[in-house]
Amino acid sequence: MTKIIGLTGGIGSGKSTVAKYIAAQGVPVYIADDEARNIMDEEEVIAEVQLLFEEDVIDENKKLDRKKIASIVFKNPEKLKSLNELIHPKVKAHFKDWLKKNNHHPFIVKEVAILFETGGDKDCDKVILVTAPLDVKISRVISRDGSNREEIIKRMENQLSDEKKAKKSDFIVTNIELNDTFVKINEILKILKIS
C-alpha cells in the first residue's frame, strides 16, 4: 500500500521549495494549499465562504479576495476555524481521489502547512518537518510577499511552534543552506524507499 508522507513547516521555513525538490526526484507531491486555492475558486465554494463573513469578500472578478480574507481570519481565530472547517473536508476528499491515481507508488508526499493543527498527521505514515531560525523565516517572507514583521509574527502565532511540531515529526530538516537541505532530503528519501 502507498505510504503517505506528511511534509510540513511554518511560514517561511521553505517547505514549498523542499516539496518542489522532492517532486523533481520523481515522487508524487500533493500541495494542499494549492488545491485549497483551486477549490476556493469554485462558484459554490465562493458562495459558501461569503456566508462566513459579514463584510463582502468577493472581488470585482467574482473571485474571493484572499488578501481581505487573510487580514480578517488572522485577527479572528474563530473565523479562521470556520473557514478551515469549510475548506479542509473538501481538500481531504480531493486528496483521496488524487491518492487513488497515485497508489502505484511506494510512497507519496502530502505538503500541508497546518498538518498537525488539522489532525492530518494521523493519516500519515511518517512526517517530515522543515524548519529554520525565526529571523531567517521572517526575512524570507518579507522578501517573498512584502509582509511586515508584525503581520508575519501574527500569522506564525496561528500555527503550532516548531518545538511542538518537532516532537510529533519523524524527520526534521533545518533549512538554512539549500544544498545542505537537499542532501538531508536525499537521505530521507533513501530511508523511505527501503522502509
Q: Determine the Cα–Cα distance for residues 181 and 70; give it in Å rounded to an integer.
A: 30
Q: Is 9 annotated as a binding residue?
A: no
Does the annotation flag 14 for ligand binding? yes
Cα 55 → chain centroid = 27
Give the length of the chain.
Answer: 195
Please, what is the Cα angle at 86 between 84 and 77, to 5 degrees? Answer: 35
Which cell numbers hold the place of 189? 528519501
Instruction: Encode pLDDT of 97-138 as tens digits.
Output: 999 999 999 999 999 988 998 889 999 999 999 999 999 999
The percent of residues above 90 in pLDDT, for the chain, comes to 79
Q: Is 10 annotated as a binding residue?
A: no
70 burial (CB, 10 Å; 0-12 / 13-18 / 19+) is middle
Residue 174, annotated as binding a ligand: no
- All CATH 3.40.50.300 domain ranges of the chain, comma separated, are 1-28+105-195
Find, among 106, 109, 114, the residue nearest to 127 by Cα. 109
* 146 assigned ligand-binding residue: no
Structure confidence by residue, pLDDT tens digits, 14-53: 999 999 999 999 999 999 999 999 999 999 999 999 999 9
- Parallel/antiparallel/unpaired status of strands 171-174 and 3-8: unpaired
State which CATH number among 3.40.50.300, 3.40.50.1000, 3.40.710.10, 3.40.50.720 fits the domain covering 1-28+105-195: 3.40.50.300
| 143 marked ligand binding residue | no
